[in-house]
Structure 1
Amino acid sequence: MTRTLLINPTITSRSSARFPLSLLNLSAALDKHGSSEIIDGNVDRDLITATLHNMEGGDFDAVGISVMGGPQIAPAIDVSKTIRERFPHVPIIWGGYFPTLYTDTALAAPYVDYAIRGQGEESFPELVHALRQPQPALANIGGLSWKNGDSIVHNPNRRFSLPDTGLVLPYDKLGDPRRYLARTFLGRRTAAHQAAIGCRFRCTFCGVAAMFGGTTQLPAAARLERDLSYLKYELGADSIQFFDHNFFDREEDMIPLLEVMAKLEMPWWCYARADALLNLSESSWKLVRKSRLKMAYIGAESPSGQMLKEIRKGTRPDQTLEVAELCRRNGVIPELSFMVAPPEKTEEETEHTFEFIRELKRINPEAEIIVYIYTPLPESSRHEKDRGKRPGMALRDLNGEPVVFPKTPEEWTQRQWVDYACHADAPWLTDKLRQRIHDFVTVLRCRYPTVQDMRSPSWAKRSLSAMATWRYRYRRYDRPWELNLANRLVKLRMPQVSGL
């Protein structure tokens, strides 16, 4: 019987903690032939102490650490270094988006022994079992990267595996799972859940495409009903935030899932695509309305048809406008995200996006707008099936020098690279354009405060909206000093930073 410790390094505040779904699924897979324990750094705020306490309490065959890019890298490094120092013989395995996209970078660290690329539900248990053998047979474990002396070996990618319809997530390993239910604009006890995994589309900038290679799998309706019924009737959840990479897929596949949602009638939020929503029939929209879908996060990305084609988005700008109107008619708030400041035509595309956002607001004033900086993945991070296809221009900084991505996890903790991973800044932005984007977003979010803000009082949001009206109407975005001053007191919620 193997024994494994799974760690989710701190990445959010305690109040923003949601179920660590990836580790729950991994734990369920490991427990088929062994046992596992979970430490969630978003709840156990002293991650180092919690880790040492668990490891001193028994022998573990391995430690698995889930790592995303951005602010989660630093605590992942800290806990890995601590484990290596105190328990030098325990293998440390990194998995998740960061080691999938930057495998060599992860394995360059002396405190990372193995990296799991993509899904881990099959690869991770196989690796832990192999490590118990006198001479571990590693070469046949799909999706594994490992060190062989001074070189790094990348085993072939593992096939996309179908989810186990009988899998039951071990929520009890999190202590009281009810502490993960949050008050949001959806309800007083919102639970996070993931039904489908992967995405059929292969956008060149997207980590999901890099991890899953254009493959997706929807759950059986029976499993979705079982899982959501547990959250509703056992834990008391009254609403659902779906972490699916793309909830809406082909209509014929969605109807059974929408019927489950319509039966439970729990307000919900999800990711969606404009074309998928536009292709739904009226009968399916009837199910959507009955299911109480309140908000759909839609990646609009750009008002430029040429750019959408270059990044392989698969949608058109006119579809973005159409879906804003469609959502308005059906009582769904579209949360539309845009990527500004691309490496080419940086200022021109940014200003074009600002005007497109204004058009969207005219069509549907309730549409929520998320503005990110366009920070594409390096070619080496794309899925092996997509490398070399539609390569973008070479990325260069303001001095015309090629952008060189970090070679170690420590370099990824530098502010400029945390911002890059979070789509908050890019090496080719001028100070002038960076300020222009910041000022536009300030005016926009004050003029139209998000409905997701449950903390700011209504009178404060109304006051800020009134203060920003003249600036928004006359496009006077520059130096909104009075709005910045007011925001120090009110602190309006920023969904692109804090999420739902």
Structure 2
Amino acid sequence: MNTSPHTLLVNPTITSRSSARFPLSLLHLAAALDRHGRSTVVDGNVDRDVVDATLRALDVDRFDAVGISVMGGPQMAPAIAVSRAVRERHPGLPIVWGGYFPTLYTDTALGASYVDYAIRGQGEETLPELLAALARPDRDVSRIAGLSWKDTDGHLVHNPNRRFTMDDPGVVLPYDKLGDPRRYLARTFLGERTVAHQAAIGCRFRCTFCGVAAMFGGTTRLPAVARLDRDLTYLKHHLGADSIQYVDHNFFDREEDMIPLLEVMARHELPWWCYARSDALLKLQESTWKQVRKSRLRMAYIGAESPSGAMLKDIRKGTRPDQTLEVAELCRRHGVIPELSFMVAPPENTEEETEQTFEFIRELKKINPAAEIIVYVYTPLPETSRHEKDRGKRPSTPLRDRHGQPVVFPTTPEAWTEKRWVDYACHADAPWVSDDLRRRIRDFVTVLRCRYPTVQDMRSPAWAKRGLSAMASWRYRRRRYDTPWELNLANRLVRLRLPQASGL
């Protein structure tokens, strides 16, 4: 009889089956768990009835715990449904939540009766240690770093944070746990078989609005050259991937550390997409840009955030508006498409800042018409959700809704499933945004995306995109964004892709 710990890892549904990408966080956990036990993965993005798939897995095998990855937004409701179903069918089975939501809102997660443990930050060491502790007679979890739990009286206990690490498992991730991993390869503008991969982890910057900063506390780790080479060899030659979507939190770090990795990528010649910062790209020498071109970088997602230097300083972004303009031109010269994201409707000077952002976007499109633009609503994290090293530093002005009342964040997972809070987590709306401004933002985005259809749209025919661009040109030229009824009507037929909603 096999007595090694067996863990069921669940990725609740968060996207459509066609947009499903590798559940990389669970694969990293599985690799760590399998060193001293076993693991099984259920991916709700592929197994569409994630509750049924989870219960079926529990019925056919013995498990010592269920680990559920939870991100705020549309993943909350299925995460709750899975947890409740497991608790009802297997009341004694420990349920562990991990990921961004329990890291940022630990007390809220643990307040639910169906959550026994919450892992803050990385779980590759915390979860195996928890499984080992639960197997001992005393079940003592008090010394496990990065873990939050409930004592016998129901009080919440938060163990000290765990130090950030990045170990090389020596092998590729256990993709076979997903069945046929090739079904996760997708047709995108990068290639016919694009694969998602994470090379580096974390980000050294401390933006106050960013969940990555809250989780990793300004720390980052790059992979060893041998590891990246091994992973790309497997993805290209075993799975047949012809392009890569790097979901690193911030791909370009210090130039001297990046050069060996770019050399590996240049040898594999897989077109790629990544997250990047304008200041990092502007610092690259021409010799490094030569390697970037050889590695076939196609698009870089760059957080421009705002045309206001004061706001960029307030949110600790560390970049300047002029760098955004410079990087748009730099990318144009090197054949890289900059995908620039902006946060409109901040709590202060809401309408003025929004209109200034619209004008700044127009300036960017003059410099580089190929630049892609993503528009979000600015939704800062609560002070209590920031990393412990950042709490109290440059605190934001207390948030108030459009009626002047203080913004009160939800205190239960169920409340986070309300549409207004799902929208907040997805940077789609905020309590201080008026109906008129919400409509103004929506209309501007409609005119902009019709005038400049995204290159990422592989579904809409070229003639339709050209027609929409022509229809929107007069509105864009004259700044007539309000009520673009004809574009909304045409969009019902063409249905242009929205990168901020569906990504690659």
The partner residue of 2:102 within 94, 99, 103 is 99
Q: Deviations over 1:108-146 (max 9, x none)?
A: 110000000000000000001111112111111000000
Match of 1:298 in 2: 302
Match of 1:147 in 2: 150
Within-5 A mapping of 1:226-265: 226-265=230-269
The letter for the 2-side match of 1:285 is W
Q: Deviations over 1:441-471 (max 9, x none)?
A: 0000000000000000000000000000000
Q: How far, CA to CA, are the matches of 1:358 and 1:167 in structure 2?
A: 47
The partner residue of 1:57 within 50, 56, 60 is 60
Q: How far, CA to CA, are the matches of 2:290 and 2:59 in structure 1?
A: 55
The letter for the 2-side match of 1:6 is L
Q: How far, CA to CA, are the matches of 2:300 and 2:85 in structure 1?
A: 41
Within-5 A mapping of 1:48-127: 48-127=51-130
Q: How far, CA to CA, are the matches of 2:476 and 2:171 in structure 1?
A: 51
Match of 1:42 in 2: 45
The count of aligned residue pairs is 500
SS of 1:409 mapped into structure 2: coil
The letter for the 2-side match of 1:324 is A
The partner residue of 1:183 within 179, 184, 187 is 187
Q: How far, CA to CA, are the matches of 2:394 and 2:52 in structure 1?
A: 47
Identity rate, percent: 79
Within-5 A mapping of 1:23-422: 23-148=26-151, 149-164=153-168, 166-422=170-426
Deviation at 1:312, TM superposition (A): 0.3
CA RMSD of aligned residues (A): 0.6
Detail structure 1 runs of 4+ shifted over 4 Å in the superposition: none
Change (3 A) 1:167 1:152: farther
Q: How far, CA to CA, are the matches of 1:49 and 1:70 in structure 2?
A: 22
Q: How far, CA to CA, are the matches of 2:287 and 2:187 in structure 1?
A: 31
> TM-score scaled by structure 2?
0.99
Match of 1:21 in 2: 24
Match of 1:445 in 2: 449
Deviation at 1:59, TM superposition (A): 1.5
The letter for the 2-side match of 1:206 is C
Q: How far, CA to CA, are the matches of 1:486 and 1:453 in structure 2?
A: 16
Q: Does 1:435 align with 2:439?
A: yes
Q: How far, CA to CA, are the matches of 1:168 and 1:155 in structure 2?
A: 31
Q: How far, CA to CA, are the matches of 1:281 and 1:191 in structure 2?
A: 29
Q: Does 1:496 align with 2:500?
A: yes
8 Å contact from structure 1 (residues 165, 219) kept in 2 = no
Could you tell me which runs of 5 or more consecutive residues in structure 2 were left unpaired when the two chains were aligned.
none
Deviation at 1:164, TM superposition (A): 2.0
Q: Deviations over 1:260-280 (max 9, x none)?
A: 111111000000000000000
Q: Deviations over 1:173-208 (max 9, x none)?
A: 000000000000000000000000000000000000
Q: How far, CA to CA, are the matches of 2:403 and 2:354 in structure 1?
A: 20
